[in-house]
Amino acid sequence: MSATPLAQLLLLGQGTDLASERGVSCTGDLPEASDPTLVARATAAKKALGSKVLVLGHHYQRDEVIQFADITGDSFKLAQAAAAQSEAEYIIFCGVHFMAESADILTGPHQKVILPDLAAGCSMADMATAAQVEQCWQDLEKLGVARKTVPVTYMNSSAAIKSFTGEHGGTICTSSNAEKTLRWAFEKAEKVIFLPDQHLGRNTAVNDLGLTLEDCVVWNPWKPQGGLTENEIKDAKMILWRGHCSVHGRFTKASIDEFRVRIPEINIIVHPECQNEVVSAADYVGSTEKIIKTVSEAAPGTQWAVGTELNLVSRLAAANPDKEVYFLDRTVCYCSTMNRIDLPHLVWALESLVSGKVVNEIKVDSETARYSKMALEQMLAL
What type of residue is 118? L
Is 3.40.50.10800 the CATH classification of the domain at 248-327? yes
Burial 344-371 (b: 16+ CB within 10 A, else e): bbbbbbbbbbbeeeebbebebeeebbeb
Give 254-312 pLDDT, tens digit per residue: 999 999 999 999 999 999 999 999 999 999 999 988 999 999 999 999 999 999 988 88
Q: Which residues contact 144 (CB under 8 A, 6 or more apart)?
A: none
The share of the chain scoring above pLDDT 70, in percent, equals: 92
Bridge partners of residue 71, in order along the sequence: 56
Over range 55-73, report the average pLDDT. 93
User: Is 275 or 33 the better-scoring residue by pLDDT?
Assistant: 275
The C-alpha atoms of residue 323 and residue 115 are separated, in whole angstroms, by: 35
The C-alpha atoms of residue 322 and residue 298 are separated, in whole angstroms, by: 10
Give 210-260 pLDDT, tens digit per residue: 999 999 999 999 999 999 999 999 999 999 999 998 888 889 999 999 999
State the CB neighbour count (10 A cutoff) for residue 190.
Answer: 12
Instruction: Parse the chain into domains and list their residue ranges.
Output: 31-122+337-364, 125-244, 248-327
3-state secondary structure of 316: helix
Over range 367-373, report the average pLDDT. 93
- Are 193 and 217 contacting, i.e. CB atoms less than 8 angstroms apart? no
Q: Tell me: pLDDT of 190 over 90.
A: yes
Q: Which has the closest alpha carbon to 184: 369, 371, 373, 380?
A: 380
Over range 113-118, report the average pLDDT. 95
Burial class (CB in 10 A: 0-12, 13-18, 19+), 160: buried
For the residues of 30-62, what is the DSSP string, one character each? PPPTT-TTHHHHHHHHHHHHGGGEEEEEETTS-
Over range 158-164, report the average pLDDT. 95
- Are 342 and 65 contacting, i.e. CB atoms less than 8 angstroms apart? yes
What's the residue count for the chain?
382
For the residues of 163-214, what is the DSSP string, one character each? HHHHHTT-EEE-TTTHHHHHHHHHHH-SEEEEES-HHHHHHIIIIIT---GG
- Are 152 and 381 contacting, i.e. CB atoms less than 8 angstroms apart? no
State the CB neighbour count (10 A cutoff) for residue 211.
Answer: 19
Pairing of strands 267-270, 303-307: parallel
Q: Tell me: pLDDT of 22 over 60.
A: no
pLDDT score for 26:
57
Over range 35-49, report the average pLDDT. 95
Instruction: State the CATH architecture for 125-244.
Output: 3-Layer(aba) Sandwich (3.40)
- Are 354 and 95 contacting, i.e. CB atoms less than 8 angstroms apart? no
Q: Tell me: pLDDT of 24 over 50.
A: no
Pick the CATH number of 31-122+337-364 from 3.40.50.10800, 3.30.1490.20, 3.90.1150.30, 3.40.50.970: 3.40.50.10800
- The CB-side HSE value for 149 (13 A sphere, CA atoms) comes to 27
The C-alpha atoms of residue 306 and residue 295 are separated, in whole angstroms, by: 9
For the residues of 96-108, what is the DSSP string, one character each? -HHHHHHHHHHS-
Q: What is the dihedral of CA 136, 138, 140, 144, to 10 degrees?
A: 180
Q: Nearest 5°: CA angle at 136, between 134 and 141? A: 95
- Which of the residue ranges 46-50, 150-154, 262-266, 329-333 would you say has the lowest mean pLDDT? 329-333
Over range 49-75, report the average pLDDT. 93
State the CB neighbour count (10 A cutoff) for residue 293.
Answer: 12
The beta-carbon contacts of 212-216 under 8 Å, at least 24 apart in sequence, are 213/276, 216/240
